[in-house]
Amino acid sequence: MLETLYEPDFLSPHQVEVFIDGHNQFCKLFVEEFLETDKPVHIDQFQTSGFWHKHDEELQRKLGVYEVDKVHVEYQIDEGGLDKGWGMPDGKPEFVDFLNRIKPQFDVEDFHHYVLATMNSGMNGVMCKDYGKFYWTAFYDINYNFECHCDGRDIKDKRGPRPDNWNDLSYDDWHQEEDFEFTRQGLVSLDVDEQHDGTVIFNQSFPYSMYVDFSKLPHEFPILKDSKNKIKFAKGDTIERFGAKIEQFTYKPFDEDEYDEIMENCVDESIWPIEAGYGLSLDKVCLLGTPGTMYSWDCKKFHKTRPFVPTTNDRRRLTLAWHCGRHT
Q: Domain map of the chain by residue range?
A: 5-327
pTM: 0.92
Identify the pLDDT of residue 82: 45
Give per-residue pLDDT as tens, 237-295: 999 999 999 999 999 999 999 999 999 999 899 999 999 999 999 999 999 999 999 99
Cβ-contact 131, 184 below 8 angstroms: yes
pLDDT under 70: residue ranges of the chain: 50-59, 79-85, 124-129, 312-313
Q: What is the pLDDT of residues 36-67, one digit of tens each?
A: 988 889 999 999 986 655 555 566 777 788 98
Q: Identify the pLDDT of residue 59.
A: 67
Alpha carbons 32 and 16: distance in angstroms, whole number? 24
pLDDT recorded at residue 260: 97
Q: Above pLDDT 90, what percent of the chain? A: 67
Contact in structure between 46 and 26 (CB atoms under 8 Å): yes
- As a whole number of Å, the CA-based R_g of the chain is 20
Q: What CA–CA distance (Å, rounded) separates 310 from 307?
A: 9
